[in-house]
């Protein structure tokens, strides 16, 4: 036994050493075959002597038992978010407040922030950032990332912060194996989805990586951030590259430009550069406000754009019958992903930009936003470039297209159009609507093509055995889906109204309508005047609602949904308080721990009101990551902007 124990300990140390040489130092000393043989020997010994297997053995990197859910983890040290700046003028304003400080400049990795905790040299806990105070325990999944050391040569407590990402090459390989509708939008989404897999074996297949960029806590004291990074390198962590230290704004800006020029050639995605105090004493003195450090900012690079060729223009039919032209492009890499399609919005947009098939075009992609064709390189236009014309009939059902001169959109008005029905079903099950988990676009299409769903009520008639018999499904997937479908029956009237796809009835309007009329039966026979008494309903929206509920088909749909047990009444949540009474909130961006729906419901449960647009009457804008034009408008109007934690502070929760 002693001999086996010694051999196992030796193999673990050797494998960890060679993992670091390969995945961290990029300087392998043995062949893959030699590594695999050592790994297999360790596996065989641990199988023979299971009592000698430990949680931090290299064999644990392949993934373990699937979890039912992730446990919540309260961070010992808060994981704040950064204030963004979008120009050197804004950066200089930040710098002038503390111009005598020494700053560290480093790339801002576009991934998922995590904390790693070590006790006496052993990796014991890994958690997502969450809202900065509470995250999720993803230790098993993080152990599958081979650049994370499972053991370090430091006795004491160490907590570090890093950014998990999916390398661009891995992202491309994974997307090649997925169907067109199953492709990940970008490496960040792919990394986030992979790290939050309940089955760590799936995470292990996703080739994730990490850069560590901060010491959150350590028994050892450091004078500067730079010193702490050097300590992490010595401990075997893969530390953020291309760091630079200076107290001169010109040098700082020059390094930011240098990092920006490298973006295209990096093996990973970045969306900016971080400028932060290097002397740790300065950080303590400056502190933070609203969970954001006053000693650091993130300079965000402008959206990436590339030139490519427009090969064709194809039409996509949406759930409301709108025909959207999409550009088929010669594949081009932008912002870490290969772009093959881009939106062209409508015929007016194509005419204004004078976009023709065969043109060389400039394509822009910003974050998660769908790529768009921004402009044409006219000097490269070929003589045979083709002017695009909208089709006269729907490409899905072959029925005539309707177009009003006063509208930009062309529409298919055939209620039986297959493309519309698919999009409508996809909308019905989506997260903001009935929220049926596990029933994405590819599953909807699978069920539709197999003839087992044609309408909303059919979803609630699905049987586990029938689902399990289909390709890409199985008993467990079928059981989970049936449970999710059953749970959605009690989604409530507001979600149901939104899920029906009534034109110009979004989440906010649907909630207002549900609160006013309480029961879906009340909508049959409403007048324009009735509806326009509601703040969030205008005259055009009122006409669409009246038209929808005057159709015979609508009455059939509602009747069928009632028959299968879907709730069609509004049940108000218990009022938790009135602290927000009289205040109007607009929500924008991605919040750390809850959806905008959940945040809106929380606000309303404390007496507040939510609105879909920013105006002078808006009291607060609740902003998360990737907030867009609403945030900009709020800033121009001087409306107070808060984050999720500040909302919770207001509510005392």
Q: How does strand 244-246 pair with strand 134-136? A: unpaired
CB 206 within 8 A of CB 166: yes
| Strand partners of residue 308 | 361
* Three-state DSSP state, 588: strand
| CA of residue 287 relative to chain centroid, distance | 29
Q: Is 464 a catalytic residue?
A: no
Tell me the DSSP string of 607-631.
Answer: T-EEESS--TT--EEEE-BT--HHH
* Phi and psi based region of residue 320 (left: phi greater than 0; alpha: psi -120 to 50; beta: remaining): alpha
| HEC letters along 33-64 | HHHHHHHHHHHHHHHHCHHHCCCCCHHHHHCC
Give me the helix-helix angle, 539-550 and 552-563, nearest 10°: 70
Tell me the DSSP string of 300-337.
Answer: EPPPEEEEEEEEEEEEEE-TTSBEEEEEEEEEEEETTE
- Cα separation, 531 vs 543, in Å, equals 9
Structure tokens at 442: 């590819």
Phi then psi for residue 143, to 5 deg, are: -65, -20
- Cα separation, 363 vs 310, in Å, equals 10
- Cα separation, 432 vs 601, in Å, equals 12
- Cα separation, 39 vs 62, in Å, equals 11
Residue whose C-alpha is closest to residue 444's, from 433, 454, 434, 432: 454
**Helices vs. strands in the chain: H and E counts, helices first:** 24, 26
CB 332 within 8 A of CB 339: yes
- Cα separation, 443 vs 445, in Å, equals 5
| Strand partners of residue 328 | 312, 341
* Three-state DSSP state, 173: helix
Contacts of 177 (CB under 8 A, 6+ apart): none
Phi then psi for residue 183, to 5 deg, are: -65, 145
Is the alpha carbon torsion for 96, 98, 99, 103 positive or negative?
A: negative
Q: How does strand 288-289 pair with strand 292-293? A: antiparallel
Q: How far is CA 207 from CA 147, 179, 210, 289, in A?
A: 10, 19, 10, 36
- Cα separation, 492 vs 601, in Å, equals 13
Q: Which of 48, 72, 108, 306 is catalytic?
A: 108
* Three-state DSSP state, 214: strand
The residues carrying an active-site annotation are 108
């Amino acid at each position: 036994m002693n001999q086996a124990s010694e051999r196992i300990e030796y193999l673990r140390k050797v494998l960890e050493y060679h993992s670091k040489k390969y995945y961290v130092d990029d300087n392998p000393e043995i062949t893959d075959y030699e590594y695999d043989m050592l790994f297999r020997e360790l596996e065989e010994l641990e199988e023979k002597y299971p009592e000698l297997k430990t949680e931090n053995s290299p064999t644990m990197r392949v993934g373990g038992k699937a979890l039912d859910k992730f446990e919540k983890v309260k961070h010992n040290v808060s994981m704040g978010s950064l204030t963004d700046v979008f120009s050197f003028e804004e950066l200089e304003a930040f710098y002038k407040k503390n111009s005598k400080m020494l700053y560290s400049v480093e790339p801002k990795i576009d991934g998922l922030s995590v904390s790693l905790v070590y006790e006496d040299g052993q990796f014991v806990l890994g958690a997502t950032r969450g809202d900065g105070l509470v995250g999720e325990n993803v230790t098993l999944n993080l152990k599958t990332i081979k650049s994370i050391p499972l053991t370090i040569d430091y006795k004491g407590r160490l907590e570090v912060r890093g950014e998990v990402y999916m390398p661009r090459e891995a992202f491309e390989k994974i997307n090649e194996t997925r169907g067109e509708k199953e492709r990940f939008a970008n490496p960040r989404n792919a990394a986030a989805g992979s790290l939050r897999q309940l089955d760590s074996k799936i995470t292990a297949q996703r080739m994730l990586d990490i850069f560590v960029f901060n010491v959150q806590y350590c028994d050892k004291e450091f004078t500067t951030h730079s010193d702490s990074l050097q300590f992490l390198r010595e401990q075997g962590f893969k530390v953020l590259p291309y760091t630079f230290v200076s107290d001169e704004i010109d040098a700082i800006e020059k390094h930011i430009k240098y990092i920006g020029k490298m973006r295209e050639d990096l093996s990973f995605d970045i969306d900016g550069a971080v400028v932060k105090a290097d002397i740790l004493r300065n950080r303590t003195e400056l502190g933070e406000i609203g969970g954001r450090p006053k000693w650091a900012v993130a300079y965000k690079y402008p959206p990436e754009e590339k030139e490519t060729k427009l090969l064709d223009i194809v039409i996509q039919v949406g759930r409301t019958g709108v025909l959207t032209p999409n550009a088929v492009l010669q594949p081009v890499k932008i912002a870490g992903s290969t772009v093959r399609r881009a939106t062209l919005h409508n015929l007016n947009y194509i005419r204004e930009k004078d976009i023709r098939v065969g043109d060389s075009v400039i394509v822009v992609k910003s974050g998660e936003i769908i790529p768009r064709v921004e402009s044409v390189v006219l000097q490269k236009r070929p003589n045979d470039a083709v002017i695009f014309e909208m089709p006269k009939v729907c490409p899905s059902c072959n029925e005539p297209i309707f177009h009003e001169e006063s509208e930009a959109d062309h529409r298919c008005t055939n209620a039986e159009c297959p493309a519309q029905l698919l999009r409508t079903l996809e909308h019905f099950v989506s997260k903001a609507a009935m929220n049926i988990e596990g029933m994405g676009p590819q599953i909807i299409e699978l069920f539709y093509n197999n003839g087992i769903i044609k309408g909303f009520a059919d979803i609630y008639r699905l049987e586990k055995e029938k689902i399990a018999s289909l390709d890409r499904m199985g008993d467990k997937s079928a059981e989970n889906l049936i449970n999710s479908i059953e749970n959605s029956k009690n989604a409530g009237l507001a979600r149901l109204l939104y899920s029906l796809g009534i034109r110009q009835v979004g989440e906010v309007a649907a909630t207002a309508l549900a609160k006013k009329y309480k029961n879906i039966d009340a909508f049959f026979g409403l007048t324009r005047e009735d509806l326009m008494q509601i703040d969030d309903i205008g005259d055009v929206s009122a006409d669409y609602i009246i038209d929808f509920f005057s159709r015979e088909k609508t009455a059939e749909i509602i009747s069928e949904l009632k028959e299968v047990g879907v709730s069609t009444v509004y049940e108000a949540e218990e009022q938790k308080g009135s602290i927000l009474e009289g205040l109007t909130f607009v929500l924008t961006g991605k919040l750390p721990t809850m959806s905008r729906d959940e945040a809106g419901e929380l606000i309303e449960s404390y007496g507040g009101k939510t609105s879909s647009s920013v105006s002078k009457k808006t009291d607060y804008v609740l902003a998360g990551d990737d907030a867009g034009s609403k945030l900009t408008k709020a800033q121009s109007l001087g409306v107070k902007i808060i984050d999720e934690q500040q909302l919770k502070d207001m509510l005392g929760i």
